[in-house]
Structure 1
Amino acid sequence: MHHLSRRLCSGGSAGSPQAALYALCVSFFMICLDATIVNVAVPGIRASLDASLNEAVWVNSAYALCYAVPLILAGRLGDRYGPKRVFLVGLAGFSLASLACALAPVAAVLIAARAVQGLTAALIAPQTMSLIVHLFPVEHRGRALGVWGAVGGAAMAAGPVLGGLLVAWVGWPGIFLVNLPVGAMGWIAASKLVPDWRPEKKHRLDLGGIVLSGLGLTAVVFGVQSGEAYGWGTVSGPITISRILGIGVVCLAAFVWWQHVNPNEPLLPLRLFHCRDFSAAASAGASMGAAMGGLFLPLMLYLQNELGHSALVAGALTVPMFVLSSLCSRRAGKQSDTTSPRLIAALGFLALIGGITSLVWLLSPGVTLGALTPPLLLSGIGIGLVSAPLAGIATRGLEPALVGSASGVFNTTRQLGGALGSAATGVLLQAHLGATATTATQAALIFPVVALSAGLACCGLVQPRQAAHEH
């Protein structure tokens, strides 16, 4: 891996790995920011574009759907064409899509532009992780992934507050226009500082796998995200949510079968899952995504609808949580170079379970923001301790040709977990409509605790550090 990380194509430039890492993190910050910054602008978007509630929901759903579905393909494209080139194409596309979002005259155009944002963000995310693996040898990779995870936490912390300020200053288009200077800086920095690593041989694209995985993931993610909006019934004519989900499951089953029998290069090399560390880390990542997807929806609704706080105040409550998460992520990444990463991740899951369980116990009609802060801070510590070690576990011991695929699959499992978590808590909230808001929120928050318990169990399947290096 040492020699691999240094090998550049004839047009590449050998810069400092640390400088290349920071150049990648500029763009990673931007796509993570867009996951949270839009929420506070939804009322302004609805008023300005005369959008219906369903259209406003799709402003976020279109981004999430188009981000999750192509991640495996995006990772494979990095393996074929080189992660730097795919990264730069994605970054340019994301910036242009952001401009289209800001200039959208009607809700339909905004939704379409957000879909393109999601597709181009999917090109960026796996390449950042893949390039870090190529840039840093295994003994220094944890520290680099810690910085990477810290940037994601900082972006989520900044999203609600920065979004609120931009909406107040320049209106909702400002949350998209801010991506233009950030995207330009990120593109210039990456083009100059990130080595242009390319594979030794050209990889084939698995067209059958692309079609089956695209259809399957689109149907499943759409069904899960939109099921509640359609009452888990009819979408249009004979098309129902259950049929959409059924088609998705059939396509994904056919996809797995095709990956097994494909004599050439499959989109998803199933031998990835022969690596116990990767399987455990991907499963734990899905559990983490489900918990995060299920935590914030009921909490934000409770803070605003039951306790009467504004969207900006509700969002600001999570800022210390994500700041602490960012700090802990960097520290956890550094420690995982010398300490067992599975132990650090397990401690993170325990902290999250403790924090969310405390939230459930503390919720009451008159609870103060001060009382909710300690369990949120504990949860922030947990998020920080989990993120970087899991990413390191997922990629250690893999042959270089599989790194892009592994990065795509790892990110996909987290995104799908988030969609499932959001849907599950929505179902639990709907099931308790007749109960008090406190009871309904407490019931919904049980799901993240269960998901995190599953993630903790997955940490037990990770190999000890010495065994992993031998593998």
Structure 2
Amino acid sequence: MEVLNAMFVNVSMPVVARDLHASSHITHWFYSSYALGFALTLVLTGPMADRVGHRRVFLAGAALYVGASLSCAMSGGIMAFLLSRLAQGAAFALTAPQIMGLLHILYAPHDRVRLLPALGFASASAGTFGPVVAGLLISGNFADLGWRVVFMVGAMIGVTALLLGYWLLPRDTHRPQDGRHEDQGFLYRPMPLVIAVGAIMAMFEWLGRDTAGFHPWMMALAALPFVALWRIRRGTFSLRRPWDARPDPAALSQLATGAMLTICFSASSNSLIIIINHILQNGRGHSPYVSGAIQIPYGMGVFLSILFFGRFLLKKDGRFVIAAGAALLGLAAPLIMWAGQNPHWPVWALLPILVLAGMGVGMTSGCIGPASMARIAPAHAGASAAALRLGQQIGLALGGALIMRPYFYLSQQPVAGTGPPSYLLVLLFVLATAVMLAASFPRPLFPPRA
């Protein structure tokens, strides 16, 4: 549901921006408002599933998503739309971590790797066909609704997820409370994270208000989550209560590394897909349907890489799989941007490069979850899955401020500057950081079988 929603939104956003008359300074908030709602809700509710049950939290989030999607469809102005996107992010903060948490509870670490092809197929199918369906819905202009029908279909998908979750998700997966505090995750004291996330995003907006969307101090702000996670990894910083039991240092270090990697890959891969859609629709003048169809090779690359690299190589040398995926994405990203913005290159020339980019995303984002949570105790699955999801949304927010916002600003300038643009340099720097983080993963990633 989350991947399908993201693909729907990515294809429809250029049309929404034109229809609602959004400026380049507002466009990135179509994505950042979602990330903000997700992050703020997640740090408040991350451990909730461990206490009240994953099924209950999932059903609450699915119901909220239905209402938020309908609100997006009925929005008549930019502010109403942004608030509805904020609510969508809050809804996914309740639903998304529960799937990973349940897998962690129900399956052993080595067994989770065997599930990667099935999860990859579901994710890649949504990533492959979601843009095409969204493009057809927008181009078809059913009932003269335009882009609004995409969010109505999203609400229908939310209703389906709500019913399936009610019937299929296991009950009683929460941890019984005995009066003791044994919380291991660093999300169990949420208010410092709420304040930090909100303050960082406010500073990003303030720093970019009068510039080309980029300010050197933004890089310093972007480093703050990495500094905190690195100290958690080294065991020199913790948000645990002083009376909590001491966590497993190896498990917490591995989880912190995974959270940093998730920030990097979310910032880079999400920004890349959004920029591709903008180039194809606004730069080259293609319809949303063509823009969605061109992304089919990308989804195929995601599935093939998860199937072969994730399924067969992750347990043997997970560090190599994730680092190689980041390097592959770093090679494909500038080629995609250059070919997409070069009018002399035909559209079909993008297809093999998109396959490479999809393979890089599958080798990284598709494998981080099992690799990061391999040593986490089942009792802390909810908070640990929430930590990775929080990293994902922090990455989306950082990508919006450091990559998407400068891109949207420069795309509206009549004359392009000399040298590589700032957003491309930031994207490559983020992926180079991901390669180094992946190489620092412990070996082996997975504990020996009991």
Q: For 1:360-399, what aligned pairs fall within 5 Å after superposition?
A: 364-399=342-377
Deviation, 1:112, is 2.4
Residue 182 to residue 354, structure 1, CA distance change in 2 (3 Å) = same
Q: Structure 1, residues 413-449: CA drift from partner, whole Å, max 9, x if none?
A: 1221232223222465457987954967765333323
Residue 339 to residue 314, structure 1, CA distance change in 2 (3 Å) = same
Look up the match of 1:179: 154
Q: For 1:383-462, what aligned pairs fall within 5 Å after superposition?
A: 383-426=361-404, 429=407, 437=416, 444-462=423-441
Deviation, 1:126, is 1.0
The reply to whether residue 164 of structure 1 matches residue 135 of structure 2 is yes
Residue 149 to residue 441, structure 1, CA distance change in 2 (3 Å) = farther
| Matched residue type, 2:193 | S
Deviation, 1:396, is 0.6
Residue 78 to residue 310, structure 1, CA distance change in 2 (3 Å) = same
User: d(CA) in 2 for partners of 1:261 and 1:182?
Assistant: 38
User: d(CA) in 1 for partners of 2:281 and 2:253?
Assistant: 43
What TM-score comes out, normalization by structure 2 length? 0.80
Which of 90, 93, 104 in structure 2 is aligned with 1:122?
Answer: 93
Range that drifts further, 290-299 or 37-46: 37-46
Look up the match of 1:101: 72
Look up the match of 1:12: none
The reply to whether residue 147 of structure 1 matches residue 118 of structure 2 is yes
On the 8 A contact 1:228/1:426 being kept in 2, the answer is no
Residue 351 to residue 227, structure 1, CA distance change in 2 (3 Å) = same
Range that drifts further, 143-152 or 117-126: 143-152
Residue 54 to residue 420, structure 1, CA distance change in 2 (3 Å) = closer
Q: For 1:242-257, what aligned pairs fall within 5 Å after superposition?
A: none
User: d(CA) in 1 for partners of 2:74 and 2:400?
Assistant: 29
Q: Structure 1, residues 220-256: CA drift from partner, whole Å, max 9, x if none?
A: 13443675455489xxxxxxx989x98x979x98xx9
Aligned-residue identity in percent: 25
Residue 110 to residue 355, structure 1, CA distance change in 2 (3 Å) = closer
Look up the match of 2:177: 201
Q: What do you get for the CA RMSD once the two structures are aligned?
A: 4.0
Deviation, 1:375, is 1.7
Residue 174 to residue 308, structure 1, CA distance change in 2 (3 Å) = closer
Higher relative contact order (CA 8 A, sep 6+): 2
Q: Structure 1, residues 371-392: CA drift from partner, whole Å, max 9, x if none?
A: 2222221111111122232111
Q: For 1:219-368, what aligned pairs fall within 5 Å after superposition?
A: 219-224=199-204, 227-228=207-208, 231=211, 259-260=238-239, 262-264=241-243, 275-336=252-313, 338-359=315-336, 364-368=342-346
Which of 218, 221, 226 in structure 1 is aligned with 2:198?
Answer: 218
On the 8 A contact 2:267/2:397 being kept in 1, the answer is yes
Range that drifts further, 137-146 or 325-334: 325-334
User: d(CA) in 2 for partners of 1:351 and 1:42?
Assistant: 27
User: d(CA) in 2 for partners of 1:458 and 1:359?
Assistant: 24
| Matched residue type, 2:303 | S
Q: Structure 1, residues 200-238: CA drift from partner, whole Å, max 9, x if none?
A: 3368799993222112212213443675455489xxxxx
Residue 231 to residue 337, structure 1, CA distance change in 2 (3 Å) = closer
Question: Where does structure 2 lack aligned partners over 5 or more consecutive residues?
Answer: none
